[in-house]
Amino acid sequence: MDLKQEYSSFCEENDVCIFSKPWWLDTVAGEDNWDVLLYKKGGKIQAAMPYAFTKKGEWIEIDEPPLTQKNGVIFVYPKNQKYTSKLSFERKVLKYFIDELEKFKLASFNQAFNYTFTNWLPFYWQGYNQTSRYTYVIEDTSDKEKVYAEIDSSTKNLIRKAEKSIKVYENLDIESFYKVNSMTFERKGMQIPYSIELLKKIHKNCTDKNCNKILYAKDEEGNIHSAIYLVWDNDSMYYILGGINPDFKSSNSTSLLLKEAIMMASDLKVKFDFEGSMNKEIENFFSSFGGSQKQYFTITKYFKFDIKRAMYSILNNSYNFKNKLRKVLNK
C-alpha cells in the first residue's frame, strides 16, 4: 500500500476530523493535490499529517484547501503515557514530519491545526511562525435545556423574535443555498471565493455519507431569510457556511437557525463548533451562544521570496499601523 492507502485504513480505525478524511480532501483539493506523512513504530501508525498542496512549476505550496477549517497532525498517543513522555513523543513526531516536509522544494507552508493541538514548539525551533485564531465550541450538548440556558439573554430575545415571523426548514437545494450564501459576499462588495461546482461536489459526497444538513429560515410568503450549511463527524458538528438575504436581515433568522443546529448536534450526541472568526462582530455573535473559547494555531513558513506576498504584508501592516495611530490620536 502507498501512504494514502495506509492513511485511509488508519482513518477507518480511528476517529478523524471530517476535514482530514481522505474523501473530504479528494473533494476539496482533488485526488492528486493532497498527500500524507505517516509516523510509524513497529509497523503501526502513531501519527499522521495530511496536507493539500499546489504545484507552481518546480515549487510546492502547502495550504488549506477551500472550505476546510483545519488540518494538521493527528496523534495516536501510546496508552498510559506520563505527561513528560507525551511531550517527548510530540517533539519526536513533529521533528520527523518537519524534516520530511522540508525534503520537498517548498515555496510555503500554511496550515491551520485543530484546537486540540497545543505544542507547536518544534515548528518554532525550525523557524516557523504561528498566529493564534479562535473558535467557540459547545462541548456538551447532551442536555438541551442546559445548553439553551447558557445562551446570552439578548440572543434568546432575538431567537424568540425570529420565531414569531419565520420557521426553520431542512434540505434546501444546493443552487438556492449558494444564491443565499452569495448574498453575504455581495453585500460586502466581495466575490464569493468558491464555485458552485465545488459546493455541489461537497454536498453530494457529504449527502452520500449522511454527514450534512442545510437549514433555512422562511416566512409565510415563502421568502428565504437565511440559510446555514452544517457538516459533522463522530466528534463535532461544524457550521461551515451561511448566508443572509439583506432584505430580511432584521428578522434575526440566523440566531434561530444556529439554535436549531445546536439542538440537532445534541440529537447526534456531538459537540457544536462554530468554526470561529476573527471578525469582531461575528466573534461577539458566536460567543453569545455559550460555547467555550478555543485557541487554534495557523502555522506558516515561507521558503521562497514572493513579491506579491511581501507587498501584501507591507500594505496590511501599514493599514493596521494607521488604524492604531488613528485610535491613539482620537483619544
- Structure confidence at residue 307 (pLDDT): 54
Q: How many angstroms separate the CA atoms of 52 and 67, rounded?
A: 13
The DSSP symbol for 104 reads S
User: How would CATH label the architecture of 140-290?
Assistant: 3-Layer(aba) Sandwich (3.40)
The whole-angstrom distance between residue 49's C-alpha and the CA centroid of its chain comes to: 16
pLDDT tens for 70-110 read: 999 999 999 999 999 999 999 999 999 999 999 999 999 99
Amino acid at 291: G
Q: Is the pLDDT of residue 17 over 90?
A: yes
For 301, residues 6+ apart whose C-beta sits below 8 A from its C-beta are: 106, 108, 109, 123, 126, 127, 128, 129
Sign for the pseudo-dihedral over CA of 106, 33, 27, 14: negative
What band does 317 get if pLDDT is binned at 50, 70 and 90?
A: low
Confidence at 327, pLDDT banded by 50, 70, 90: very low
Question: What residue spans in the chain does CATH classification 3.40.630.30 cover?
Answer: 140-290
How much is the pLDDT for 133?
93
List, for residues 121-168, the tens digit of each pLDDT value: 999 999 999 999 999 999 999 999 999 999 999 999 999 999 999 999
SS (H, E, C) 287-330: HCCCCEEEEEEEEEEECCCCHHHHHHHHHHHHHHHHHHHHHHHH
Alpha-carbon distances of 35 from 32, 57, 157, 168, 222, rounded to whole Å: 8, 18, 47, 40, 45
Say how far apart CA 275 and CA 272 lie, in whole Å: 9
**Average pLDDT value over all residues in the chain:** 91
- The third-level CATH classification (topology) of the domain covering 3-133+295-327 is Aminopeptidase (3.40.630)
Give the pLDDT score at 278: 78
Q: How does strand 271-273 pair with strand 236-244? A: parallel
In order of 173, 258, 323, the CA distances from 242 in angstroms are 14, 10, 29
